[in-house]
Structure 1
Amino acid sequence: MRVSSLLASASSLLLATLAVAEGPLMCGHCKALAPHYEEAATSLKEKGIKIAKVNCVDEPDLCQAHGVQGYPTLKVFRNGEPTDYSGPRKADGIISYMVKQSLPAVSLVTAANIEEFKGADKIVAIAYFSSPSDAPAAEFQATAEKHRDDYLFGQTTDADAIKAAGVSPPTIVIYRAFDDPVSVYPYPVVSATVEEIENWIKELSIPVIAEVNAENYMIYAQSGKPLAYLFLDPTSETKDEYIERVRSVALEQKDKINFVWIDAVKFGDHAKALNLPESSWPSFVIQDLEKQLKYPLDQNTEVTTTVVKDWVKSFITGALQPTLKSQPIPETQDDVVYNLVGKEFDQVVFQDDKDVFVEFYASWCGHCKRLKPTWDSLGEHYAAVKDRLIIAKIDAPENDLPPSVPFRVAGFPTLKFKPAGTKQWIDYDGDRSLESLIAFVDEHAGNSLKAPAKNESAPSQSHVEFHDQTHDEL
């Protein structure tokens, strides 16, 4: 049977990876996935879940029909209908994800299978009811439909199962493979809403302190809480000792901050991105994920329970100031485009009498490189009015934005305009032609952009006077 026919006729559940599956063209990500995919296939075969792979060199039309733009692309086929696979890419994660997909959103739990079901995943939610119509059965079902990819849900009215669990219906119980293994819904359950149930499960799904990696990072990123990292050398004999030093603080503050430990050897670049410049472990840092601000503990300071507790308390109360990464302030500004850095961002950008148009770029970004000559031309176009309008650029990965900035940059290049007399930002989302950029500036500028008469001279941008010439030291 052709692969396309297999996918279309899958009667129940099938996971397919569409990739350059073999040979010299096989991509690095495909190679990394391959052993995990094979291990998962062996385990899932016993559960009646099929795993397939498609070589996009041999099946280009099929891959194109399924919108494959990068390798590997994973798709879940249920009764021949594809959906994107959004689970982990390690064997145990693939197995867990596909087992959830094979089950109804809420599985029937009985006395015969309850013990096995409670340990079937890291997070298992079981609702105990006297009758299927008991409140909040409908809300529990809706929660399960919404989060079937995230957690395992079961429901029972079996008197023996309820007795074995030692609970009084109606109630909902979470069984975890970490920390406290059993948690009973702590509020009046009959009035529980979908939002309340999902928030409760979400809170319990994050350990007090566990290792963070590429597989589980999004759990923390989507939690809405700051993230405290303990960077450790995983081969160190003192690793567990330092984790225990932080655990008590993590337990005390888990409602406000998530705590993790991370492999400092493997993720050394991430440590530098969090403003930990030295390869000195252990090290501790808190990151405000929403504002992308970093609060690293001095790496010369011993990581003790007391030190971490005081650091976290200062962060929570707002007493800590973030450490901002910045390139050096340029000695001169001779180009038509102002070379902006983090240390002087506020002083340059938030001058009330100036319009400012900023390109947030990355040195490695191809789109940014293509924009550069146009952006330079934009600076040249307005060179005569640079006392009123600053055309600027900033290497965003090398310069942290200060807390005063109400946004964070997620892609490059990002273009934002701040009119004179305001602290508001206007996103530029038009095409990147010089004509369109000029039209945008002319439309939104707070100042007159009429060039001075020829016998007048505009001050050089390198001599623009700032209202506040002081600079924060990092």
Structure 2
Amino acid sequence: MFGSAWLPAALICSVGVALAADSHVSVLSSVAEFDAFRSKQAGFAVLVYAPWCGHSRALLPEFEKAAASGTTAFAKVDGTEAEALATKLDVKGYPTLLFVHRGDGFPLEYDGQRTEASISKWVKSMLSPSVQQLPSVGMVKAFTKGKPVALVLFVADASAPEAEAMYGVAASANLPCATSTASPAELGLSALTAPSFVAFTSHAEPAVMDSSTALTHASMLRFGKMHALPALVTYTSQLEEALFSAEVGLHLLYFHSADLDSATTASLQAAGEQLRGDAIVATIAVGSHGEVAAFFDVGASSQLPTPSLMGFSLANGTKFAFKGTMDAASVVSFARDASAGLIAPHLRSQPEPSSSGPLVELVGSTFARVAHDPTKHVLVQFYSPGCGHCEKLKPVYQSVAAKLADLEDIIVAQMDATANDVLGFEPEGFPTIVLYPKENKGGVEYDGSRDAHDLIQFVKDARAGRNHIGGLSESSIEPPDEDDGYRVEL
């Protein structure tokens, strides 16, 4: 418990960390303070907040109570003051609650209920992840037997820094983890000496981490996740989390409707072995996962036939269509070229519409030509046909298009983002409105009200060269026209 009565003065001086009066929460104000504090703790909870944020103000008392009720270290960071530290922690918004283990591992973000009880339970689980201690070969064999994957760190000394890092691996990977002081040679791993990190799996021989790689939290976590999946994965919805958390940047997905033949299976299996760590190779039955197939433009009502092999970049959501011979060498070459940006992306597109009127309907094949026109300011609404909020916005957006129709350098457009792709962009929700000004074809997402007057002003600000980063220029808001009063609260 980190109250002033428990924290020695010498530690306060050496760490340089302030402790708020009558608080069990330390205050961290810089990267140096954070690093020093981290080095003194097995693990701690840290809340990054903004004083002006209502959600932050609501969470702080619950966080304080959780700190007072436990024995774990708690800290808080004013992200508006300690901007460098907030950046280091990759904070995207306020408040952000993280658990940090000692070492070099990534902080783990909390996404549960914002109550004292829930926070306390989460912190306790983070501080005490399950890492088995296995002093004998027999215990290692029993621990790894029958498990799809089990991670074992062989060390000469159970208190070694690598062994301590395993607690962070266990908390992050959600996989069975253990440390062992037994000899790897007695398990048939004769070439190994401690420390060594081994992934035991039911689908392959034990995988040993390269001895030239430092055994850190980050490196062991990546290696463990990389080997938790077989070289060729049979996709199920239950496996989706494992696929996307494996930290592998490219997925190769083979969509099929009939049973896989042995030659195709062997080719994909061999490719998966060669690409381990660089790509995940999976098979997907179209009959059972039609929505996934449609997303990749595969199937009877899509552009690509079944079977098809598709590549998918997790970095930007780009899709690639394989057009070669289905053998291991060709699949591996396809993966390498896709990762290197040497293959043209595959974009879903509905047929080009013959639209007329002030509101332009875009599809995948016309988006770049219209939105990236350097002579136009282009406002685009990305919508979903089944979205209730999109339906509510429809008359407002049509009004915006009509009112701006006389301005030749402005285009108001919309696109069904469930059936069409935009290279390097995928909306996180619907509706999403993005302005592509003449001078910034990377796009500026609108985050103002769903009001015709505000949307029009947003576009006019861009046209006049005024500040339009995400919303309205406060210095240039014009009064609404009498018929601009239709508001939609989303």
Q: How does 1:296-311 map to 2 (within 5 A)?
A: 296-297=321-322, 303-305=326-328, 308-309=331-332, 311=334
Shift in Å, 1:322: 2.2
1:390 equivalent among 405, 411, 424: 411
* 1:246 partner letter: L
- Any idea what the Cα deviations from partners look like across 1:278-328, whole Å, max 9, x if unmatched? 385433222223332322345xx8744465455445534544222322122
Q: Are the aligned partners of 1:76 and 1:85 in contact in 2 as well (CA < 8 Å)?
A: no
* Aligned partner of residue 402 in structure 2, secondary structure: helix
Distance in 2 (alpha carbons) for counterparts of 1:413 and 1:84 = 37
Residue 194 of structure 1 corresponds to which residue in structure 2?
Answer: 217
Distance in 1 (alpha carbons) for counterparts of 2:188 and 2:120 = 36
Distance in 1 (alpha carbons) for counterparts of 2:112 and 2:399 = 49
Shift in Å, 1:81: 5.3
Distance in 1 (alpha carbons) for counterparts of 2:185 and 2:140 = 9
Residue 27 of structure 1 corresponds to which residue in structure 2?
Answer: none
Residue 35 of structure 1 corresponds to which residue in structure 2?
Answer: none
Residue 155 of structure 1 corresponds to which residue in structure 2?
Answer: 179
Correspondence 1:440 to 2:462? no
Shift in Å, 1:276: 2.0
Structure 2 unpaired stretches of 5+: 1-110, 467-490
Distance in 2 (alpha carbons) for counterparts of 1:119 and 1:85 = 31
Sort the Cα spacing of 1:107 and 1:330 in 2 relative to 1 into closer, same or farther, 3 A.
same
Correspondence 1:216 to 2:215? no
* 1:169 partner letter: A
Correspondence 1:228 to 2:246? no
Structure 1 unpaired stretches of 5+: 1-74, 87-99, 449-474
2:379 equivalent among 357, 361, 365: 357
Residue 183 of structure 1 corresponds to which residue in structure 2?
Answer: 207
Residue 253 of structure 1 corresponds to which residue in structure 2?
Answer: 275
Residue 32 of structure 1 corresponds to which residue in structure 2?
Answer: none
Residue 129 of structure 1 corresponds to which residue in structure 2?
Answer: 155
Sort the Cα spacing of 1:328 and 1:384 in 2 relative to 1 into closer, same or farther, 3 A.
same
- Any idea what the Cα deviations from partners look like across 1:129-185, whole Å, max 9, x if unmatched? 2222223222223322333xx21111233x578745655322222211212x31223
Number of residue pairs matched by the alignment? 345
Q: Are the aligned partners of 1:355 and 1:447 in contact in 2 as well (CA < 8 Å)?
A: no
* 2:311 partner letter: I
Sort the Cα spacing of 1:425 and 1:333 in 2 relative to 1 into closer, same or farther, 3 A.
same
Q: Are the aligned partners of 2:150 and 2:175 in contact in 1 as well (CA < 8 Å)?
A: yes
Q: Are the aligned partners of 2:172 and 2:221 in contact in 1 as well (CA < 8 Å)?
A: no
Correspondence 1:329 to 2:352? yes
Residue 430 of structure 2 corresponds to which residue in structure 1?
Answer: 412
Q: How does 1:49-198 map to 2 (within 5 A)?
A: 82=118, 104-111=129-136, 112-119=138-145, 121-147=147-173, 150-157=174-181, 159=182, 163-164=186-187, 166=189, 167-179=192-204, 181-188=205-212, 191-198=214-221
Correspondence 1:241 to 2:263? yes
Residue 381 of structure 1 corresponds to which residue in structure 2?
Answer: 403
Normalised by the length of structure 2, the TM-score is: 0.62
* Identity across the alignment (%): 21
Normalised by the length of structure 1, the TM-score is: 0.64
* 1:351 partner letter: D
The answer to which structure, 1 or 2, has the higher relative contact order (CA under 8 A, 6+ apart) is 1
2:297 equivalent among 265, 275, 281: 275
Instruction: Report the aligned-residue RMSD.
Output: 3.4
